[in-house]
Amino acid sequence: MAGKVSVIILRPKQSENALSYLNSPILLIIFKEFFMALNLSDVEKIAKLSRLSLTENEKTKTLSELNDIFAMVEKMQSVNTDGVEPMPHPHETALRLREDAVTETDHAAEYQAVAPEVRNRLYIVPQVIEE
């Protein structure tokens, strides 16, 4: 791909959790260096690995779209989120719960009354797989 990447192993201190390293400056630098921009040979390699056959126009369009996505990710990574508490969902809503009551009746007796054969509340069907 576009840049060179060295493998860096980050080990959290005992007082920190490993997820805190996902937003570390080191990982952001690696991301920026590695994904700064793709070229046509990268798109061809991705297409080959994905077993896709792309025309030259599709390769060019895909290259542009992928680079736009990486640019958007880079832009999002540059936003200062210090002091912002992580949220599981952007909208704070509570689920409206219904009363825990039976809403359906048991129709088993009605259904089994019209079944060809029933034993111990189980439907008996003809054997379709040979032993």
Q: What is the domain partition of the chain in residue ranges?
A: 18-77
Give residue-wise pLDDT tens across range 7-39.
444 444 444 444 444 444 444 444 445 556 788
Mean pLDDT score of the chain, rounded to an integer? 76
Give residue-wise pLDDT tens across range 68-81.
888 888 888 888 88
pTM for the model stands at: 0.42
- More confident position, 40 or 11: 40
Distance, CA of 17 to chain centre? 22
The secondary structure of 31-44 as a DSSP string is HHHHHS---HHHHH
pLDDT, residue 114, reads: 94
pLDDT, residue 57, reads: 94
- More confident position, 38 or 5: 38
Handedness of CA 58, 59, 64, 70 (dihedral sign): positive
